Every structure is written in structure tokens, then in C-alpha cells.
Amino acid sequence: MENRKYLILFVLILTLISPACAYGYGYETHGYLTQETVDFYLSRSGSSLQNYLIPYLVDGARREDDSPRWFNHFFDPVYNRGFSYDERIDPLLNVGNYPSSKQWAQTSAEQNKAVYKVGSIIASILNSFQPCFAFDPRCFGAGSYAQ
């Protein structure tokens, strides 16, 4: 009976500190960090950044882990490659080979592949019906739609 108390206490503590409670994995975390980074940069540097660009940076940070973009997070420095299929691991599930994060960041051709554009095209179509979701500067007090 006494062991049962310790087991219940252990399970309770384990549940409270589980990684599922970590908010670092939340959708808004990357966007928040980007906003804070922009604010810090603008307060410390002599450079300026046009206000209408900041929402694009924040949205890009939020959407960074959307599929299939997360395949480009990998970099194997030993073989200088990204996420790659190995039939010895799972011969039935071929997910393909993807460029390394280093290659993807340095090559605009990789970033402009259709697989990354489809979501943007759909979002653009939807935004044409509701312009304020398109980060249009006029939605942020920079002008009027009547102009």
C-alpha cells in the first residue's frame, strides 16, 4: 500500500513535468521570438525596417515547421547531406531525399519549388477575399482602402 502512494506521487510529478507541457513547441513561439528579435534589432541598431515587412517575418517564422518545410531542417555534417531515405531502415516507406538546411538556405531554386508554393498560392487566393489577413499595410493604419 505504501508503494502505491509513491507510485501515484511519481506518476503525478512525471505528468506535471512532461514535455507536452512545454510551450516552446507552440505555434506562436517562433513568431513571438521573431517579433522580440526584430524589436531588439531595431532598438540597438541604426538600421530601419519598414513596418509592413515585420508581419511577413513573423508569419514566416510561424510557418517554418509546416510540411514539407521541416524536411529541410536536417544537416548531416559527416556526409554533407540533408534528410535522406535509407532502404535499410524502412524499405516500404520511401519519403525521398531532401537538400540539407545549408543547401536549402543558400539556393533560391530549392526554396521556389512548387511544393513550397502551393500553400502560398492558396493563402494568396484566400487573402484576396479578406485583405486584412494578407498583412496589407493599409490594415495596420498606413492608409485607407478608399484611396
Distance CA 16, CA 84 (A): 36
Distance CA 60, CA 53 (A): 11
Q: What is the pLDDT confidence band of residue 1, given thresholds at 50, 70 and 90?
A: low
Give residue-wise pLDDT tens across range 66-106.
Answer: 777 777 778 888 988 888 888 888 788 777 788 888 888 88
Helix/strand/coil for 76: strand
Give residue-wise pLDDT tens across range 26-52.
Answer: 777 888 888 999 999 888 887 888 888
Q: Given the C-alpha cell 513550397, which residue does it identify? A: 116
Helix/strand/coil for 1: coil
Distance CA 93, CA 72 (A): 18
